Chains A and B, each alone.
Chain A
Amino acid sequence: MPLNTSPRVRPYETLPSLNVPGIPAVAPMPSGESADTTRVAERFGGDVLAAGMHNGNQVLYVKPEKLVEVAQFLKSDPQLRYESLIDVTGLDRKELPIGAGAARFQSVAQLRSYSRKQHITLVADCAGGDKPSIPSLTAAYQGAEWPERECADLMGISYTGHPDPRRILMPKQWPNHPLQKHIPVGGEEVPFSLTWDDPEFETLGTQILPALSHAPDMPPGMNRENMVINMGPHHPSTHGVLRLVVELDGERVVSIDPDLGYLHSGFEKTGETKRYKDFVYYTDRMDYLSGMNNNLAYVLTVEHMLGVEIPERAQVIRVIMGELQRISSHLFWLSTHVLDVSGTGMSLLMYATRERERILDLFEMVCGARLTVSYIRVGGVWADLPEAFLTHLQDFVRVMPGKIDDYERMLTDQAVWQERLQGIGVLSREQVMEMGLTGPMLRGSGVDWDLRRDMPYSGYENYDFKVPVQTDGDGFARYLVRMEEMRQSLRIISQAIANLPDGIYKTDNRKVSLPPRAELDLSMESLIHHFKLMTEGFHVNPGFYYHGVESSKGELGFYLYSDGSPRPYRLHIHGPSYNNLYAINTMSRGEMLSDIVTNIGSIDIVLGEVDR
């Protein structure tokens, strides 16, 4: 029986008449000014269409033809020094009341100054109406390459001057760009490349499998004179369904072409059809090793746009959870990294997993789930900490430093381990900033940057912790950084336990969070709030906002564009794994085949987040 693929209609979510008049609305133009925006506006005059602050972020609207010039100015000007490009994404304004003649697509770039602790958003209209195009930012920042490829693939914006304009997440033969607003969710015909009509299936189950020679699908620039091998998608150490096309000269790596998208599940498109509060559960599934941090990043973005106050207790609980998740994610990284580098017999895999198990047990205590936690919700957390939790947590914090010492004894001073990591996958300070890498990749190469300390959120400014920085930029430096991060996380947790205040764990703003069950029997108002929240969800003021948190793998950022309705108009996820994986080619070139595996481990990717 053929599969029913007709588009599903969810009337309660899509019925336009439910919406208040005035929705959808376009985000307001930035107001006020900051030193940076003024400086750019003065320098470029009429080419800067608008400059100022929006939702607490600095925003610049520039003319598309001046985009690259402005970016170069932001990067090179000694008073601005925006060294790194964090993210590039696009916005399809088809369903917004933009008025005739306005450009349908916009390109949105997030720039970061590490030395000055500044963040700026760069917005430019795309020329060309329904076939948008815009100059590529790769001319100013190398790290724009993959974000722009992603945006070109999913949004259909073509970047002129881009060095490698192939699709990256969707299959080559995919007929459309799914993030464009006129593409429906669900019900699309999937152009499979392999069907049952394929002659390869005729001999299925026979003793001798035919292996016909297919013309190899070589990435541009690869030479068949060398040995070209496919690592993945089914390979033991690509950490999921990642495919690397590797060109080898003997065992030396000549070049690598990563092929992504095997796990692409369209989180961004899905997010645009869900109410704000319903997307929290999806975030768990992206980087499934750090669900809490994903929840936190998303929830903070929404909360900032809503402008709700989060109770003190919820903030501290969030910090505890975020740090526990960081330790658990690092433990999993450590165990798999050791497995990749040292072989399956290595016992450290199970030792680290044993300790991670305790963290997962703690998660189970607070929310019943171990991996897909969805514990941190808009307005606070899902439930208060159970009574026994703090005792167990204190015991964990007491035991854990000794365990980390054990791991270090097994690895740090061991000659074989050092030889495998030292000088492998070296990235210089300039390179990591140029490529837009984040997290331990940044700190391993000598950039002293941690969002928790430098752009604090969730009350991180109240904790005393060190940000480990190493200058070598090799695999060993990143290993040391992550080991030290685990210790610092433990320090933060013990401070949080000591300062855990009493009080509510969820905001009592009834426009955002549900009233308690008991209140419903007594108060009509509560009943209305409950009904509105459960059916329609809360409305978010028109506007956009980018917020990044320091996830275990790097900066996890959410870019939200609200049109005033209870669903995000545009939801973009900046996954650290995706941007960090971009470095694999630079890191591995000229090294041995074994070092690719070491480098993948050293980047610490989760394919669920790379492909999203």
Chain B
Amino acid sequence: MDWLNLVVFPVIRIVVLFVVLLTGFAYLTLLERKLLGRFQVRYGPNRAGKFGLMQPLADAVKALFKEEIIPNHVDKPIYVIAPALALVPALLIWAVIPIASGMPAVADVSIGFLWILAIAGVEGYGIILAGWSSNNNYSLLGALRSSAQMVSYELPMGMFLVSILILAGDFSLVNLVDNARPWWEWIWLWLAFPFFFICILAETNRSPFDLPETENELVAGFQTEYGGMKFALFMMAEYTNMITTSAIMATLFFGGWRGPFAEEIVWLGPIYLLAKIFILLCLFIWVRASVSRPRYDQLMTFCWQFLLPLSIGYMVISALLAVFLK
């Protein structure tokens, strides 16, 4: 058995990925606060360290040393496990994302697309279980909204993924980036990007679609009863999800690691990928700073009456394009 390739290298990759992602999460919170601060004519955190660079560290220390409070009325095992359930899928998706020429982050799963769809399906559980086990009306309402919203938006998102899959003709994400695409395919893909981005916003519960937690109505939604590190885990899940979904979008729509000289100089690949992720993350934050939040029922109406038919139409046309032009 090839221990080196099957166990040692993947473990090293996983560890590196973990460190990068968790650091990324920590500094993403800083980036968001800084950027939001700039959008809103204020400074953002700038007390801890130079430019507030130590802020994530301070936050982590605070979260870790907070008093652990588990209310008596919660369903304890589920209550404790829910934050972890929210975080894990966000990390798992990374396994199949290609980071350089011919190189996936962890493993070149030949069914990369299905992997994304499957893990995205699990993502809702953490939030739903958290809301349910909290035994609190606000949490429950948040969880109900979340389940409805995530299930609904998975449909158009899946349709868009399938369209890309049809055009690519291959389940593997590594191959998707490696194979050259004709120019019309790029344009056709970019047409779908705004709608896919909306689906992603709803999937990750990001503002303006952060209806499961809507601090204005539901106090903190599904995470009302959580405090300390368990609350931090939800934050981690949300922000890691942002990074992950940005990576997916970069891979699907913007050629992942591709860029000038990326094929000759391998180490440029991850840098290009990171740059694309960074730009997409800024887009997330920009949207948060400038778009109003719709009401819950308006969000659902938008999904079922507009986005879903649109995505189905997009899929049909994609199939026709694939048949006649490829």
Interface residues of A, Cβ cutoff 8 Å to B: 207-211, 227, 229, 235-237, 251, 338-347, 349-351, 354, 410-411, 414, 416-417, 419-420, 592-597
Contact = CB atoms under 8 A, between A and B. Distances in A.
B293 A343 contact: yes
B305 interface: no
B297 interface: yes
Contacts of A237: 215-217
A354 B39 CA distance: 13
A345 B214 contact: no
B294 A420 contact: yes
A350 B208 contact: no
A419 B298 contact: yes
Interface string B279-299: 000000000111111111110
Nearest to A236: B215
Contact of A351 (B41, B70, B210, B216): B41
A227 B137 contact: yes
The 5 closest A-B CB pairs, nearest first, are: A345-B288, A350-B40, A342-B292, A416-B292, A211-B73
Given A207-B68, A211-B73, A347-B290, A339 B216 contact: yes
Contact of A211 (B71, B138, B290): B71
Contacts of A416: 208, 291-294, 298
A419 B294 contact: yes
B36 A345 contact: yes
Nearest to B290: A347
Q: Interface size class for chain B?
A: 35 or more
Contact of B219 (A235, A338, A344, A347): A235
Contact of B295 (A207, A339, A592): A592
B289 A347 contact: yes
20 contacts: A207-B70, A208-B69, A211-B72, A237-B217, A339-B216, A343-B215, A343-B216, A343-B288, A343-B292, A347-B289, A350-B41, A350-B42, A351-B40, A414-B292, A417-B292, A420-B292, A420-B293, A593-B141, A594-B217, A596-B217
A584 B96 CA distance: 52
Interface string B143-178: 000000000000000000000000000000000000
A346 B296 contact: no
A10 B67 CA distance: 48
Given A237-B217, A343-B293, 8 more contacts: A208-B71, A227-B137, A338-B292, A343-B214, A345-B208, A347-B36, A351-B41, A594-B214
Contacts of A349: 40
A592 B289 contact: no
B311 interface: no
Given A592-B297, A593-B217, A345 B207 contact: yes
A341 B42 contact: no
B39 to A, nearest CB: 5
A227 B144 CA distance: 14
A410 B39 CA distance: 14
A261 to B, nearest CB: 22
Nearest to A234: B219
Nearest to A411: B292
Contacts of B141: 229, 251, 593
A407 to B, nearest CB: 13
A231 to B, nearest CB: 8
Nearest to A336: B216
Contact of A341 (B40, B41, B72, B293): B293
Contacts of B42: 350
B30 to A, nearest CB: 16
Contact of A251 (B70, B210, B215, B296): B296
Contact of A208 (B39, B70, B297): B70
Nearest to A208: B70
A88 B95 CA distance: 70
A342 B294 CA distance: 7
A207 B294 CA distance: 38
B179 to A, nearest CB: 38
A207 B71 CA distance: 8
A347 B40 contact: yes
Contacts of A596: 217
B210 A343 contact: yes
A409 B36 CA distance: 20
Contacts of B214: 343, 594
A349 B290 CA distance: 11
Nearest to B67: A207
Interface in B19-60: 36, 39-42
A594 B215 CA distance: 11
Nearest to A601: B216
A351 to B, nearest CB: 7
Contacts of A343: 207-208, 210, 214-216, 288, 292-293
Nearest to A339: B216
B149 to A, nearest CB: 13
Contacts of B69: 207-209
Contacts of B68: 207
A344 B215 contact: yes
A340 to B, nearest CB: 5
Nearest to B301: A419
A346 B72 contact: no
Contacts of A341: 216, 292-293
A224 to B, nearest CB: 12
Interface string B68-94: 111111000000000000000000000
A306 B117 CA distance: 78
B249 to A, nearest CB: 20
A416 B42 CA distance: 26
Nearest to B38: A347
A411 B290 CA distance: 10
Given A417-B292, A419-B298, A420-B292, A209 B72 contact: yes
Contacts of A410: 290
Contact of B289 (A339, A346, A419): A346
Contact of B39 (A207, A347, A419): A347
Nearest to A343: B293
A209 B137 CA distance: 18
Nearest to B37: A350
Nearest to B295: A594
Contact of A342 (B36, B137, B208): B208
A276 to B, nearest CB: 42
B217 A597 contact: yes
Nearest to A591: B295
B217 to A, nearest CB: 5
Contacts of A251: 141, 296-297
Nearest to A342: B292
A583 to B, nearest CB: 19
Nearest to A235: B219
